[in-house]
């Protein structure tokens, strides 16, 4: 049986969801017998190949134009898109800033916290991604096939979803597999 | 009530015709989810989560308000009903901010439970995420409007059961907000901090400061016991995790309170800042030192032996019948710490829910016996009963501190004690007048009630178990009687008459058995430890003469009272 191909990427995240992926421990080895990981933020290859992958996983919310680009690229290049973790599914903790004006948020983060150096200014380089006024979920930007909430989703739930997909079945998150926090 | 035949999910049943579909389903053992409905308050059909499919009805119907009818065939979990519930949950989640991962109530929230049950793995609708305020102006619990689903349980319980009518709604549609009085912060409102609204809130909108994040539903135990702080004798439920009481709730099944509590029963014990007494302590040269139990009991025995019969044992209402029965065997005089009304009740608290006229004499029921005050307030608000207040101050505005001050807002009239006879004339025209008083008003209340044919009197003696202790042999109130040795058995009492402390300050030897050090360390020579109500088992008798069980919710290191007392008795032999 040919392996199914997988790419993952992260957007506005703490990276906890990818930690949870690694938390599958020895199950990871088993899954990798059926799955070929082609790119991820923690491997050398960061971007899904142009030729496409069977399954794409996105973690994190969409907070800026760069992240939107990453999300769209993943959608274009994958067959099945999984939005993984509360930030990707709902916007998550990142949406806390939705209650404030973007300039207020930037100036607080770069000039007002106790840990910012004096004279520090908000970086304005055109090369830096531009913050959107509000944080969005992945689903607000592109079509998502499966939602896998949790902050982070437990490793065994990620394993369940991948195992079902490998077996050609529809993963269904029943009450015992769902978690919102 | 005649029965009608109904079929719910294929189960046939005969149910009373005045039932709702929800009640009929529950009687048949079928669960229908609810959010705005609560068994203790009137249904309003606001949230629609209970929608069910009923044959021959054009649309889905809310089970909590829809009455059953002869031949009704209902399907509570048909595809259509379940789909509708998912849709409603989606709408509820889209309206405000429900990021459960930072909500205090996660895993203890009915809305969240339903999201799990109906397997919501994402939100379908765009969420405008409006920014609502958080009101933290109240001492014991916080209101986060961002989590509120506008089910109005809080508003309804405050109005229907507490009779306080503090809460209401302002604005319209999605902008609606629960508000207090004329839109003031909760902490500055007429709220009496009874916490009933907190107890019924199905989400994290109302969150208890003490127990937030302290334990989710699966991690806690619930133990039913009693409040011993006053003779109303409310049934409580201790919420316990890892041998700690994290919250107190009202027991819905208990007489007389049916779920209600006052600030004193619900919050005060968990916000106690006094030092706990864990071991005996002796004062020497103005310094307090811990001593071994054996040593302390030997000292107590020595003092008691020297004094012979010249001992006064003074118990608070926090002493159980069993503890009181043991203490009654000790030599010397027996006193209750509280004033005792010499008149007897001819009414019970249940009568307050049917009376059409209340005459409250020289007692402020917003301060003492508060839950009984709620029965009266709701009678006035809900049933149109009338309230007369008699107090020392004459008619007109009740001055602050006057007994009539607290309840005057609910009263039709206030009378000075000199004009009390007018109450007899008014009561003569009532169907069921009840005269209510504490010790200060007991004599007058009983006299007045005696002049009205069908009147009853409800007399409260302060102290949770005063009635049980009276029967155990403590039949005199302590009013400064002389003794060589005083033994005060205080429990956790915090409202202590300043005169008592003054008298004890002048006294010879004072031994205090208490859960907390303050204020007794100002007057005692020797302090013995005592378990709190949360930690002990026994019985108590409330104002109605009802024997109530006190059940230990947590284990304590403090030595059980009977063990300590028996060791002392053994020494004396
Ligand atoms: S109130 Fe309930 S549903 Fe809303 S965030 Fe809190 S736990 Fe989640
Ligand atoms: S605490 Fe009691 S009085 Fe205050 S708003 Fe809630 S129910 Fe009403
Ligand atoms: S505060 Fe709680 S009980 Fe009151 S309306 Fe909001 S969700 Fe319902
Ligand atoms: S009314 Fe009395 S018994 Fe009831 S909770 Fe308040 S203090 Fe306790
Ligand atoms: S529970 Fe029936 S409408 Fe809310």
Give the tens place of pLDDT for each residue, B351-381.
999 999 999 999 999 999 999 999 999 999 9
Distance from Cα B125 to the centre of ligand 3, integer Å:
22
Which positions ≥6 away from B294 have C-beta within 8 Å? none
Same domain, yes or no, for B333 and B364? Answer: no
Is the distance from CB of A74 to CB of A10 less than 8 angstroms?
no
SS3 call for B189: coil
- Determine whether the shortest distance from the Cβ of B146 to ligand 3 is under 6 A: no
- Is the per-residue pLDDT at B507 higher than 70? yes
Same domain, yes or no, for B169 and B244? Answer: yes
- Is the per-residue pLDDT at B276 higher than 70? yes
Place of tokens 């949360």: B534
- Work out the pLDDT band at B558, boundaries 50, 70, 90: confident
Strand partners, A25: none
* CATH class of segment(s) A4-98+136-167: alpha beta
- Is the per-residue pLDDT at B259 higher than 70? yes
Share of chain B above pLDDT 90, in %: 92
Which positions ≥6 away from B320 have C-beta within 8 Å? B228, B465, B468, B536, B538, B539, B540, B550
Same domain, yes or no, for B187 and B238? Answer: yes
Report the C-alpha gap between B174 and B186 in whole angstroms.
21
Query: Residues B451, B455, B456, B462: is their CA dihedral positive or negative?
Result: negative
Cα-Cα-Cα-Cα dihedral of B196, B201, B202, B204, to 10°? -130
- pLDDT, tens only, B444-475: 999 999 999 999 999 999 999 999 999 999 99
- Is the per-residue pLDDT at B11 higher than 70? yes
- Determine whether the shortest distance from the Cβ of B108 to ligand 1 is under 6 A: no
Q: Any chain B CB within 8 A of the CB of A86? A: yes
Ligand nearest to the CA of B318: 4
Q: Any chain B CB within 8 A of the CB of A149? A: yes
Same domain, yes or no, for B403 and B484? Answer: no
Place of tokens 């959608």: A75
Interface test with B, best of A92, A142, A146, A181 (most B CBs within 10 A): A181
Contacts 24+ apart (CB under 8 A), B97-102: B97/B129, B97/B132, B97/B146, B97/B147, B98/B147, B99/A86, B99/A90, B99/A91, B99/A92, B99/A93, B99/A95, B100/A180, B100/A181, B101/A86, B101/A92, B101/A93, B101/A151, B101/A180, B101/A181, B102/A93, B102/A181
Contacts 24+ apart (CB under 8 A), B326-330: B326/B561, B326/B562, B326/B565, B326/B566, B327/B472, B327/B489, B327/B565, B328/B472, B328/B473, B328/B474, B329/B569, B330/B304, B330/B487, B330/B569
Interface of B with A in 423-462 (CB under 8 A): none
Q: Please state the rounded mean pLDDT for residues B505-533.
A: 96
Instruction: Pick the closest to residue B93 from B142, B143, B129 (CA basis).
Output: B129
Q: Where are the alpha helices (DSSP H) in B282-344?
A: 293-307, 321-327
φ and ψ of B88, to 5 deg? -65, -40
Report the C-alpha gap between A43 and A47 in whole angstroms.
10
- Work out the pLDDT band at B1, boundaries 50, 70, 90: confident
Q: Which of B247, B271, B295 is the last residue of a domain?
A: B271
Q: Please state the rounded mean pLDDT for residues B266-283.
A: 96
Report the pLDDT value the prediction gives residue A87, as an integer from 0 to 100.
96
Average pLDDT in chain B? 95
CATH of the domain at B250: 3.30.70.20
- Is the per-residue pLDDT at B572 higher than 90? no
Q: How far apart are the first and last CA of chain B?
A: 66
Ligand nearest to the CA of B158: 2
Q: Is B448 exposed, middle or buried (0-12, 13-18, 19+ CB in 10 A)?
A: buried
Q: Which of B407, B440, B459 is the last residue of a domain?
A: B459
Neighbours of B241 (CB within 10 A): 16
Interface test with A, best of B98, B99, B128, B129 (most A CBs within 10 A): B99
Same domain, yes or no, for B263 and B330? Answer: no
- Determine whether the shortest distance from the Cβ of B148 to ligand 1 is under 6 A: no
Distance from Cα B211 to the centre of ligand 3, integer Å:
18
Report the C-alpha gap between B506 and B524 in whole angstroms.
11
Same domain, yes or no, for B478 and B333? Answer: yes
Give B112's contacts in chain A (Cβ within 8 Å).
Answer: 180
Look at residue B83 and tell me if it is in a domain: no
Look at residue B89 and tell me if it is in a domain: no
Report the C-alpha gap between B138 and B151 in whole angstroms.
21
Report the pLDDT value the prediction gives residue B393, as an integer from 0 to 100.
80
CATH of the domain at B427: 3.40.50
- Determine whether the shortest distance from the Cβ of B109 to ligand 3 is under 6 A: no
Distance from Cα B268 to the centre of ligand 2, integer Å:
15
Strand partners, B184: B180
Instruction: Pick the closest to residue A16 from A152, A158, A144 (CA basis).
Output: A152
- Determine whether the shortest distance from the Cβ of B550 to ligand 4 is under 6 A: no
Same domain, yes or no, for B336 and B477? Answer: yes
Report the pLDDT value the prediction gives residue B102, as an integer from 0 to 100.
84
Same domain, yes or no, for B288 and B363? Answer: no
Structure tokens at B259: 């779920």
From the alpha carbon of B200, which atom of ligand 3 is closest? 3
- Is the per-residue pLDDT at B518 higher than 90? yes
Cβ separation A173–B119 shorter than 8 A: yes
Nearest-CA residue for atom 3 of ligand 3: B201
Helix-helix angle B421-428:B439-450, to 10 degrees = 50
φ and ψ of B232, to 5 deg? -60, -40
Residue of B nearest to A149 (CA): B121
Same domain, yes or no, for B484 and B516? Answer: yes
Q: Which of B430, B459, B488 is the last residue of a domain?
A: B459
Please tell me the total count of domains within chain B: 4
ipTM higher than threshold 0.90:
yes
Cβ separation B121–A144 shorter than 8 A: no
Q: Any chain B CB within 8 A of the CB of A16? A: no
Look at residue B117 and tell me if it is in a domain: no
- Is the per-residue pLDDT at A174 higher than 90? yes
Is the distance from CB of A24 to CB of A49 less than 8 angstroms?
no
- CA A58 to mean position of chain CA atoms: 3
Residue among B99, B119, B131 whose CB faces A175 most closely:
B119
Same domain, yes or no, for B471 and B401? Answer: no
CATH of the domain at B21: 3.10.20.740
Look at residue B101 and tell me if it is in a domain: no
Report the C-alpha gap between B31 and B27 in whole angstroms.
9
- Is the per-residue pLDDT at A178 higher than 80? yes
- Determine whether the shortest distance from the Cβ of B164 to ligand 1 is under 6 A: no
Nearest-CA residue for atom 6 of ligand 4: B262
Interface test with A, best of B33, B89, B96, B101 (most A CBs within 10 A): B101
Q: Any chain A CB within 8 A of the CB of B506? A: no
Residue of B nearest to A181 (CA): B101
- Is the per-residue pLDDT at A1 higher than 70? no
φ and ψ of B556, to 5 deg? -130, 155
Ligand nearest to the CA of B260: 4
Look at residue B109 and tell me if it is in a domain: no
Look at residue B233 and tell me if it is in a domain: yes
Q: Please state the rounded mean pLDDT for residues B68-96.
A: 97
Report the pLDDT value the prediction gives residue A119, as an integer from 0 to 100.
87
Same domain, yes or no, for B236 and B195? Answer: yes
Same domain, yes or no, for B483 and B566? Answer: yes
Give A181's contacts in chain B (Cβ within 8 Å).
Answer: 100-103, 106-107
Query: Where are chain A's structural domains?
Result: 4-98+136-167
Report the pLDDT value the prediction gives residue A140, as an integer from 0 to 100.
95
- pLDDT, tens only, B383-400: 999 999 999 887 666 677
Question: What is the span of the domain harbouring residue B306?
Answer: 281-340+465-572
Report the pLDDT value the prediction gives residue B346, as an integer from 0 to 100.
96
Place of tokens 């602050």: B400
SS3 call for B486: strand
Q: Any chain A CB within 8 A of the CB of B116? A: yes
Distance from Cα A71 to the centre of ligand 2, integer Å:
48
- Work out the pLDDT band at B101, boundaries 50, 70, 90: confident
- pLDDT, tens only, B321-340: 999 999 999 899 999 999 99
């Amino acid at each position: 049986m040919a392996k199914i191909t997988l790419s993952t990427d992260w957007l506005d995240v703490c990276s906890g969801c990818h930690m949870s992926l690694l938390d599958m421990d020895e199950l990871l080895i088993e899954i990798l017998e059926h799955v070929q990981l082609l790119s991820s933020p923690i491997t050398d290859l960061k971007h899904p190949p142009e030729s496409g992958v069977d399954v794409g996983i996105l973690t994190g919310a969409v907070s800026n134009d760069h992240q939107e680009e990453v999300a769209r690229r993943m959608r274009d290049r994958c067959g099945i898109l999984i939005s993984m973790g509360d930030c990707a599914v709902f916007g998550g903790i990142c949406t806390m800033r939705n209650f404030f004006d973007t300039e207020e948020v930037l100036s607080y983060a770069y000039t007002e916290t106790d840990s910012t150096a004096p004279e520090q200014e908000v970086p304005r380089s055109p090369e830096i991604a531009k913050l959107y006024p509000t944080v969005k979920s992945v689903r607000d930007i592109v079509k998502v096939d499966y939602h896998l909430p949790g902050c982070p989703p437990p490793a065994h739930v990620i394993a369940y979803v991948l195992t079902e997909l490998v077996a050609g079945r529809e993963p269904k998150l029943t009450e015992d597999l769902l978690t919102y926090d | 009530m005649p029965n009608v035949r109904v079929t719910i999910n294929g189960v046939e049943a005969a149910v009373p015709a005045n039932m709702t579909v929800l009640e009929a389903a529950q009687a048949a053992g079928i669960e229908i989810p609810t959010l705005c409905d609560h068994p203790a308050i009137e249904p309003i059909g606001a949230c629609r989560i209970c929608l069910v499919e009923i044959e021959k009805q054009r649309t889905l119907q809310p089970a909590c308000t829809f009455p059953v009818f002869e031949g009704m065939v209902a399907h509570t979990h048909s595809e259509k009903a379940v789909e509708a519930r998912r849709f409603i949950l989606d709408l509820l989640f889209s309206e405000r901010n429900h990021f459960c991962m930072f909500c205090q109530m996660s895993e203890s929230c009915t809305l969240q439970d339903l999201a799990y049950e109906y397997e919501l793995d994402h939100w379908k609708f765009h969420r405008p995420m409006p920014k609502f305020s958080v009101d933290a102006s109240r001492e014991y619990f916080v209101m986060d409007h961002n989590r509120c689903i506008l089910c109005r349980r809080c508003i309804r319980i405050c109005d229907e059961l507490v009779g306080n009518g503090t809460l209401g709604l302002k604005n319209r549609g999605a902008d609606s907000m629960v508000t207090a009085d004329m839109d003031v912060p909760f902490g500055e409102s007429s709220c009496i901090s009874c916490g009933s609204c907190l107890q019924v809130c199905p989400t994290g909108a109302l969150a208890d400061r003490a127990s937030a994040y302290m334990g989710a539903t699966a991690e806690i135990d619930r133990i039913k016991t009693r409040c011993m702080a006053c003779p109303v004798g409310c049934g409580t439920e201790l919420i316990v995790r890892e041998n700690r009481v994290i919250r107190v709730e009202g027991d819905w099944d208990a007489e007389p309170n049916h779920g209600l509590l006052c600030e004193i029963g619900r919050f005060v014990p968990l916000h106690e800042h006094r030092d706990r007494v864990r071991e005996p302590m002796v004062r020497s040269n103005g310094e307090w030192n811990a001593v071994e139990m054996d040593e302390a009991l030997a000292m107590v025995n020595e003092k008691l032996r020297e004094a012979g019969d010249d001992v006064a044992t003074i118990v608070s209402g926090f002493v159980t019948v069993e503890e009181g029965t043991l203490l009654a065997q000790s030599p010397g005089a027996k006193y209750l710490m509280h004033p005792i009304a010499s008149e007897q009740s001819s009414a019970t608290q249940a009568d307050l829910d049917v009376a059409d006229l209340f005459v409250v004499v020289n007692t402020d029921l917003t301060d003492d016996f508060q839950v009984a005050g709620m029965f009266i307030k709701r009678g006035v608000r809900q049933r149109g009963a009338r309230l007369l207040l008699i107090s020392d101050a004459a008619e007109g505005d009740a001055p602050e501190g006057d007994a009539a001050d607290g309840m005057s807002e609910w009263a039709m009239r206030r009378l000075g004690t000199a004009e009390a006879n007018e109450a007899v004339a008014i009561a003569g025209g009532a169907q069921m007048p009840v005269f209510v008083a504490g010790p200060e008003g007991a004599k007058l209340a009983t006299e007045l009630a005696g002049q009205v044919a069908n009147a009853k009197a409800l007399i409260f003696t302060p102290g949770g178990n005063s009635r049980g202790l009276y029967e155990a042999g403590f039949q005199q109130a302590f009013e400064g009687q002389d003794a060589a040795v005083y033994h005060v058995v205080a429990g956790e009492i915090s409202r202590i008459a300043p005169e008592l402390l003054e008298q004890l300050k002048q006294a010879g030897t004072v031994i205090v058995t208490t859960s907390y050090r303050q204020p007794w360390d100002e007057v005692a020579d020797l302090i013995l430890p005592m378990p709190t109500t949360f930690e002990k088992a026994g019985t108590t008798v409330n104002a109605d003469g009802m024997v109530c069980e006190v059940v230990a919710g947590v284990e304590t290191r403090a030595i059980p009272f009977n063990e300590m007392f028996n060791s002392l008795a053994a020494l004396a032999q």
